[in-house]
A and B are shown apart, each in its own frame.
Chain A
Amino acid sequence: MHDHHATVEAVFRAESGRIIAGLIRVSRSFDLAEEAMQDAFAAAIVSWRADGIPDNPAAWITSAARRKLIDYARREHTRRNNEDQLLYESLCRNSAIDEEMSRPFADDRLSLIFTCCHPAINMEAQVALTLRTLGGLTTSEIARAFLLPEPTLAQRLVRAQRKIQKARIPYQVPNAGSLPERLSAVQAVLYLIFNEGYSASSGDSLLRRELCAEAIRLARTLLELMPENPESMALLALMLLHDSRRDTRSSADGQLVPLEEQDRSLWHQGQIAEGIHLVERALGRRSVGPYQLQAAIAAVHAEARTAGDTDWKQIAALYSLLKAGQPSAIVCLNHAVAVAMSESLERGLALIDDLGASGQLDSYHLYHAARADLFRRMGRNREALESYRRGLTLTNNTVELRYLRRRISELG
């Protein structure tokens, strides 16, 4: 019996995105599609226990869900309005449904990604909706991963689905004119999911890893569906390269381990190789974008056998390109650090001080932490201590707090 549950769960994780995308297309309803899919999975648990696991479990689920959809359409038919009447009629033309459902699935998932990441839905809901419909995570898993009460997340999903339905957010791949912008919105959502799993300091660590794995899976799907986009290649590469260090980023007692202190023999070489290959392919398209630059930086770090081997000159050059496109505080700080490591500590410090001159970064803990690190490397311990202490007052992130406290105790 346990076996059947495990199979059902595996099919759910691997195939639910595909299945629901097709069901939403034919039913034009997130609610009905989801209900049909849930019921089909529930039926599978019972039926597979009795009759054994079918040869093609996903096809079994799909056709069971399709029959459920027709049942609901009949049920709704008796008590709903004209619009549902049309839906009912189209669903009841059985041949039409079979034909609809047997069309290739790939297009469905692509349409669904664009629907879930539509800018008319707020960002939190885009993330939840993408994970719920295209990823294989349950509502309760997503809620736990984001440290939210389950009813809050469920409500967020219901609202987003209602908006899609009522405001008629289209279920299609955007036209060529708006595609670049919409695609980068999709990429942003996937990257946000990854970062949520990668950088958060608390919560269920197993689920956080699951979130990273899910983001990687979704980025892979996006690339599979639009294989020529260099930024999608780079997004997947960036995630793989960061994720390859997952076993070395924190010590057994939960301390953050900086890049230069990580045990590089524990980095996952398979992911690194795939990541580097993707970055090279992307850069070969000669259409550079922010994900390609970030992935290239991650690749340079990954290629260094020891921290001392790091090609900081190349990293500084890449950050300077990234800075030209998106001069955010974090990018500018990273650029300054790369200059400090490749040219001179003084030059790097001068760049950081320039950034801080306006006073806008005074309340940004990473500004003080970056300055402190440079002072420490220069042996200016008193100033380092002062800056670490300043940073300490400006963050609530437990992992970062521990790192700053460690530096302070080492200097003090």
Chain B
Amino acid sequence: MRYMMLIYSQENEAATPEEMGVVAANHKAVMDEARDHGVFRAADPLEASITATTVRIESGKVLVTDGPFAETKEQLAGYYILDCEDLDEALAWAARIPTACAGATGCIEVRPIREFRELSSVNA
């Protein structure tokens, strides 16, 4: 089962390149290990939430707004997709993903990915 791990953390615009470097190195270590275990599928960091644009349809019209879906203290900062046996394995990996940037705290939301096979069997 593939799990998506959404990284929510406080954005820190004042982070120095050195601090960013430490966070990146920590991520790289987790990714390398996940690759070694054959569970790694994808992972990417996102640009800061000020670059976000939200699109919704209201009464048939496309409505584009500046900003993320929700203005919260912690913002979506990146994601991993790992192929794990079960949730326990996924949670174990999630616990190792760095969420903190320069001392700020954050969390990881773990969500199983719905496979297309399941979707089509529902339709059938």
Say which residue of B47, B48, B51, B66 sits within 8 Å of A122 (CB atoms): B66
Question: Counting chain A CB atoms within 10 Å of each CB, which of B52, B66, B67 scores highest?
Answer: B66
A120 and B66 contacting across the interface, CB-CB below 8 Å: yes
Q: Is B53 an interface residue (CB 8 A)?
A: yes
Residue of A nearest to B67 (CB): A122
How many residues on B have C-beta within 8 angstroms of the other chain's C-beta atoms?
Answer: 10
| Assembly CA distance A159 to B49 (angstroms) | 11
Partner of B65, one of A122, A166, A167: A122
Contact B64 A119, beta carbon cutoff 8 Å: yes
Q: Any chain A CB within 8 A of the CB of B124?
A: no
- Asked whether A162 lies within 8 Å of B51 as measured between CB atoms, the reply is yes
B-contact 0/1 string along A266-283, CB 8 Å cutoff: 000000000000000000
Number of interface residues of A (CB under 8 A): 10
- CB nearest to A125 among chain B residues: B66
Interface residues of B (CB under 8 A from A): 47-48, 50-53, 64-67
**Contacting pair B53 A167 (CB below 8 A):** yes
A121 at the interface (CB under 8 A from B): yes
Contact indicator B47/A166 (Cβ below 8 Å): yes
Residues in B whose Cβ lies below 8 Å from that of A122 = 65-67
Contact with B along A9-31 (1 / 0, CB 8 A): 00000000000000000000000
* Cβ-based interface call for A163 (8 A): yes
Q: Are B51 and A166 in contact (CB under 8 A)?
A: yes
Which residue of the partner chain A has the closest CB to B64? A119
Q: Chain B residues with Cβ under 8 A from A167's Cβ?
A: 47, 51-53
Complex: chain A residue closest to B54, CB-CB = A120
A86–B47 CA distance with the chains assembled, in angstroms: 20
Which A residues between 98 and 134 are near B, CB-CB below 8 angstroms?
A: 119-122, 125
User: Nearest Cβ distance between residue B101 and chain A, in whole angstroms?
Assistant: 17
B28 CB, min distance to chain A CBs, angstroms: 17
Question: Least Cβ distance of B94 to chain A in Å?
Answer: 27
A122 to B50, CA, bound (A): 11
